[in-house]
Structure 1
Amino acid sequence: MADDILIVDDEKDIRSLLSMTLEDEGYATLQAANADEARSALLAQPPKLAILDIWMRDSDMDGIELLEWVKSIYPSLPVLMISGHGTIETAVQAIRLGAYDFIEKPFKEARLLMMVERALDNARLARENIELRARIDDGETPELIGNSAVMRTIRQSIEKIAPTASRVLINGPSGSGKELAARTIHSQSDRRQEQFVVANCARLSTERVDAELFGAESLQSHRRIVGLFEQAHRGTLYFDEICDLPLETQGKIVRAVNQQRFRRVGGNSEVVVDVRVISASSRDLLSETSAGRLREDLYYRLGVVPLSMPSLADRREDIPVLAKYFTNRIAKHVGVKPIHLSDEIFAAMQGYDWPGNVRQMRNVIETLLIMAPDDRNQPVGLDLLPAEIQNMSRQGTNSDMEQLMALPLRGAREEFEREYLETQLHKFNGNISRMAAFIGMERSALHRKMKSLDIATDLQEEGKKT
């Protein structure tokens, strides 16, 4: 996408010269002869850079006043000031008010292009730094971790989805990584250098939801609020828990998503944007639609490409690799030495259902890192796990032992083998090859053992399908 540059100058020849110079380098330009035309252009669609003349005839604002107005609305928009009558004091004032730099007329083409490129690069780096800090603060993983069949399928789907402009609707339980999947789609798309904006629908104020999404403006004061749709221009807008939006707002989103245009609260002119929308929900969307909490037309607008994130309990074989990943990553983040997780801990984690999914697991690992003994060379034991995980592990062990103790040795051995193999079969989603490699048996020998123990064949058939 070409970077849009707004040129504001009262001299038509200067505007034309600047425009031709920039367009020869591949930029797209817009022109305005005064502050009023500039404000209209900025309110309709924010450019990537503005070039403002300081002294303008037939204008209700000079360049310095217009700079203040621009920065009050788009604080991160880079602005270059130009003037043929500039002074050091004027240049200092402009930079103090937020201008990126000051160029004197008559300008040299090479210097102009260099300053434009630097201003755009600086703005791009600032956006990337904000995005990076947000990821670190949220404690999110930069990639989808896991080697299970379901995670491999999700990564393959994202590779196909990301390069397109299609809208995506992600469904899955809370904490399963829906936002991470959305960020991965964004990072693999041609919009990756633009902003990824999150609209947390549950936290949007009911009274101000429209203003927060679409922005608001006062025609008298020329002041306005930049909404999330505009912040995501050329990037991606992620709706977290889409069902929590008021129905009236859902109707406005249908039009905004479909036509890529909307009106701000209190505004008369339409704003045109280029936004990819990715939505997510932890609820049953068809039930929400039937109950009238999600508009049917919005559901079909947003759900062009569906993507389902599994619960952690549905991909238990990923738990050890996730645990090791979080251990190393969080240790660096909180400034402690990594710990060694024992086989007992891995077994207990794989036997737990994780109602909070990956988010809960991350919190457990962080607790282990903080509470572990100073001697980090010894594996951490079960006693540091939360009580609910310990209790489930002990309950399962005690119950199994009581049943086994009531059997003869041969029967107890067969029962243990049956239970062990069925557990492993479930853990590996029925994949016999990976299961055989894990337990250290030949695949053919494992088949014979399972047949002799009458282990359910439907689980084996499930493995063939995956």
Structure 2
Amino acid sequence: MARILVADDHDALREGMTLSLSRLGHEVQAVKGGAEAIAAYHKRPFDVVVTDLRMIPVDGIEVVRRLRADYPDATVLVVSAHGTIAVAVEAMREGAIDFLEKPFSPEVLRARVEKAVEIARERRGAEAARARAAALDEDLVRAHAPHGLVGSSEPMRRVLDQVRKVAATDATVLVLGESGTGKELVARAVHDQGARRAKPFVSVSCAAIPEGLLESELFGHEKGAFTGAVRRKLGRFELAHEGTLFLDEVGELPPSVQVKLLRVLQERQFERVGGEETIQVDVRVVSATNRDLAAMVAEGRFREDLFYRLNVVPITLPPLREREGDVEELARAFLARAAPRIGRKVSAFAPEALALLRRYRWPGNVRELENVVEQALVFAEGELVRAEDLPEGLREAPPAAALPVLTGDRSLTDVLEELERQLILAAYERARGVKAETARLLGIKPSALYYKLEKYGIVKPGEPGEDAS
């Protein structure tokens, strides 16, 4: 028996759900709105919350957001007669474990709630593991993170914190991010910090295997299943039993394989190609993509139900251009790892080389940075990587125009003033200290420029500069 909270402002629907779930033997409490649901949960947490989406003044999204903020283990299922992909994605991103569109039968409601109860029990069982993980020193976790997850910027600290938290559970994870950001490294970190760390980590690229072979690669085949199947082959799911299966580029899965993958995620069982035996597996699935799966669902190119199964806990990796300060840290880590392997006694970067690395946009992200460091090592002479050792394209690239990310430690006014100071300084240097030319480049009056030059300490008060004759 589980304690279930039902929140719906429609009397008949609320009473119907309450009756249906009570018949399963659950203890059910019903409330008329979102505010009442949050208050009831604060008094005594429930195993599962079933909440309507459209309620006034506090809607279902806010219920999910508030409960998950105060109780990270809260298990919430959202129902609505206004179901859209965008709303479903928003609910899942806020932490809902499932989305059920009205109208639905009592049988469907019961099945979804029973699954939610199972998830709630799994979360309670993982509570002790989460507590132990939370007690780990964050710096220690970062020190043991794989190369590519190195970074102390605010975006990466958030990612590392998400990895630490989700690793202590057995939830299905979807890693999102541009190509080269290190999505497989996140998957490995989730595995290595979780309870399955001593079991296999099996990786498969859904885009690298021909469509005709992908089903056999994932689920295995029996001898004689098709031409060339001269022996039984175990699939990646069986090889990952009790461990973690990483599905890279999951957005490339063909529809036929999507159907079979959905069944494995739902029922934890499958048959090999050409086989009749049902195989039971215990596998944690971590998938990754640089595609917009929600858009693919809307276009009919990816199954909606599979998307929700994969997107239980999304982790978004920021592109390198948004990780202020991490480029230097990553470059040094790659240098320390690659130099002995390449046979170079290079220990650091010259200041001008670091300046070029910091200003580059890194369209290829962390993977491109690693390649650049290794290429520079090949040409480096002495103990430093110098600017001339870096690829020509990088040396000639225009400076990045990345905006700072506000993290709460500085006000908007402070950030804007710093940007203004940098722009004025860049123009002043380009004009070789000629104030009239600097004002022209900036499109401001000379009198305004003089004030700002002194304000930001670029020139001393009363300094004539190079305009004076």
Query: What TM-score, normalized by structure 1, do the two folds share?
Result: 0.55
| Counterpart pick for 1:177 among 162, 165, 182 | 182
2:219 counterpart residue number: 214
Q: Are the aligned partners of 1:404 and 1:412 in contact in 2 as well (CA < 8 Å)?
A: no
| Counterpart pick for 2:357 among 325, 346, 349 | 349
Aligned to 2:155, what secondary structure does the other structure show?
helix
2:159 counterpart residue number: 154
Deviations 1:231-252 (A, max 9, x none): 1111100010101110111111
Q: Which amino acid aligns with 1:344?
A: E
For the pair 1:145 / 2:150, whether they are aligned, the reply is yes
Question: Which protein shows a greater Rg?
Answer: 1
Q: Aligned pair in 2 of structure 1 residues 245, 403: CA closer, same or farther (>3 Å)?
A: farther
Distance 2:328 2:366 in 1: 12
Moved more, 384-393 or 261-270: 384-393
Q: Are the aligned partners of 1:348 and 1:393 in contact in 2 as well (CA < 8 Å)?
A: no
How far residue 205 of structure 1 moved from its aligned partner, in angstroms, is 1.6
Distance 1:414 1:242 in 2: 56
How far residue 420 of structure 1 moved from its aligned partner, in angstroms, is 11
2:281 counterpart residue number: 273
Distance 1:237 1:419 in 2: 54
Distance 1:308 1:420 in 2: 40
Distance 1:402 1:144 in 2: 37
1:88 counterpart residue number: none
Distance 2:186 2:148 in 1: 8
2:390 counterpart residue number: 385
Distance 2:455 2:177 in 1: 32
1:264 counterpart residue number: 272
For the pair 1:317 / 2:325, whether they are aligned, the reply is yes
| Counterpart pick for 1:364 among 366, 372, 386 | 372
In the TM superposition, structure 1's runs of 4+ consecutive aligned residues that sit over 4 Å from their partners are 219-222, 393-401, 403-406, 408-421
How far residue 402 of structure 1 moved from its aligned partner, in angstroms, is 3.7
Distance 1:380 1:413 in 2: 39
Distance 1:415 1:241 in 2: 50
Q: Are the aligned partners of 2:360 and 2:400 in contact in 1 as well (CA < 8 Å)?
A: no
Q: Aligned pair in 2 of structure 1 residues 411, 298: CA closer, same or farther (>3 Å)?
A: same
Distance 1:395 1:213 in 2: 42
Moved more, 218-227 or 337-346: 218-227
Aligned to 1:279, what secondary structure does the other structure show?
strand
2:204 counterpart residue number: 199
Q: Which amino acid aligns with 1:308?
A: T
Aligned to 1:336, what secondary structure does the other structure show?
coil
Aligned to 1:198, what secondary structure does the other structure show?
strand
Q: Aligned pair in 2 of structure 1 residues 340, 318: CA closer, same or farther (>3 Å)?
A: same
Distance 1:181 1:395 in 2: 26
Deviations 1:176-231 (A, max 9, x none): 01100000000001111111111101111211111111000037999311111111
Distance 2:255 2:455 in 1: 52
Q: Are the aligned partners of 1:173 and 1:282 in contact in 2 as well (CA < 8 Å)?
A: yes
The within-5 A match list for 1:300-315 is 300-315=308-323
Q: Which amino acid aligns with 1:186?
A: H
How far residue 333 of structure 1 moved from its aligned partner, in angstroms, is 2.6
2:101 counterpart residue number: none
1:246 counterpart residue number: 254
How far residue 369 of structure 1 moved from its aligned partner, in angstroms, is 1.0
User: What stretches of structure 1 of length at least 5 have no aligned partner?
Assistant: 1-139, 422-466
Aligned to 1:225, what secondary structure does the other structure show?
coil
For the pair 1:286 / 2:294, whether they are aligned, the reply is yes
Q: Aligned pair in 2 of structure 1 residues 351, 413: CA closer, same or farther (>3 Å)?
A: farther
Q: Aligned pair in 2 of structure 1 residues 400, 327: CA closer, same or farther (>3 Å)?
A: farther
Deviations 1:294-339 (A, max 9, x none): 2111110011101000000000311111111111111123232124
Q: Are the aligned partners of 1:219 and 1:267 in contact in 2 as well (CA < 8 Å)?
A: no
Provide the aligned C-alpha RMSD in A.
Answer: 3.0
Aligned to 1:216, what secondary structure does the other structure show?
coil
Aligned to 1:223, what secondary structure does the other structure show?
coil
| Counterpart pick for 1:168 among 144, 169, 173 | 173
Identity %: 38
Q: Which amino acid aligns with 1:258?
A: Q
How far residue 292 of structure 1 moved from its aligned partner, in angstroms, is 2.2
User: What stretches of structure 2 of length at least 5 have no aligned partner?
Assistant: 1-144, 402-424, 437-445, 459-469
Q: Aligned pair in 2 of structure 1 residues 395, 293: CA closer, same or farther (>3 Å)?
A: closer
Distance 1:196 1:249 in 2: 21
For the pair 1:299 / 2:307, whether they are aligned, the reply is yes
Distance 1:418 1:386 in 2: 39
Aligned to 2:435, what secondary structure does the other structure show?
coil
Equivalences, count: 279
Distance 1:274 1:404 in 2: 67
For the pair 1:407 / 2:407, whether they are aligned, the reply is no
Q: Which amino acid aligns with 1:407?
A: K
Q: Are the aligned partners of 2:201 and 2:244 in contact in 1 as well (CA < 8 Å)?
A: yes
How far residue 154 of structure 1 moved from its aligned partner, in angstroms, is 1.1
Distance 1:291 1:347 in 2: 44
Distance 1:324 1:150 in 2: 19
Distance 1:231 1:415 in 2: 65
Moved more, 199-208 or 385-394: 385-394
Deviations 1:81-140 (A, max 9, x none): xxxxxxxxxxxxxxxxxxxxxxxxxxxxxxxxxxxxxxxxxxxxxxxxxxxxxxxxxxx9
Distance 1:313 1:196 in 2: 30
Q: Are the aligned partners of 1:210 and 1:265 in contact in 2 as well (CA < 8 Å)?
A: yes
The within-5 A match list for 1:29-178 is 141-142=146-147, 144-178=149-183
Q: Aligned pair in 2 of structure 1 residues 414, 152: CA closer, same or farther (>3 Å)?
A: farther
Q: Aligned pair in 2 of structure 1 residues 171, 325: CA closer, same or farther (>3 Å)?
A: same
Deviations 1:23-70 (A, max 9, x none): xxxxxxxxxxxxxxxxxxxxxxxxxxxxxxxxxxxxxxxxxxxxxxxx
Distance 1:393 1:323 in 2: 20
Q: Aligned pair in 2 of structure 1 residues 224, 339: CA closer, same or farther (>3 Å)?
A: same
Aligned to 2:270, what secondary structure does the other structure show?
strand
